[in-house]
Amino acid sequence: MIRFQDLTACDVMTPNPLCLDSDATLTEAEELLLSAGVDEAPIVGDSGEYLGSCSVRDLLLARRERNGARTVGGLPKRATPTCSGSLRLAQACQLMIRERSRRIVVVAGGRPVGIVSCTEAARVLACLEDLSHARKPWNFTPFEEGTHPEESALGAGGI
């Protein structure tokens, strides 16, 4: 039986996150974030090291305020909390709460290797709750984007 206290950040992270080069223009960063359907991504330097994070909101503010930044590296640095892949998921959740962040960048050797978001943590908890009642093996299959569990069950002949 998989137990919440045994799970690590590496177990639930989205691996190989989209990263923005620090020399990417604001327009390039905006296009990358929007085309990938994410609202924030780690910024990396020339050797791939984590420098901070950039969100769509940061880009919109930079355009509105016209602060002179032409590249992602020129934006004010906003550090999303980081952790190693071996950090227990419970501790990662506590870190997100303490830092008032919706995500954590998982790093190895100073480079981003994954992202753990509140959504991923909630999905794991939902699966573990299901398992505690059904006593079935863990088979995590995320819902299609934009659907709800009830819709998925209805479409599969359930409920």
Show the low-confidence residues of the chain (pLDDT under 50). 143, 145-159
Yes or no: say if 49 and 38 are a contact pair by the CB < 8 Å rule. Answer: no
pLDDT value of residue 122: 87
Per-residue pLDDT reduced to its tens digit, 106-152: 999 999 999 999 988 888 888 876 655 555 555 555 545 444 444 44
φ/ψ (deg, to 5) at 74? -85, -5
CA distance 114 to 10: 8
pLDDT value of residue 47: 95
Which residues 6+ apart lie within 8 Å of 18 measured at CB? 32, 33, 36, 38, 41
pLDDT value of residue 30: 93
Domains of the chain: 4-141 (3.10.580.10)
pLDDT value of residue 77: 75
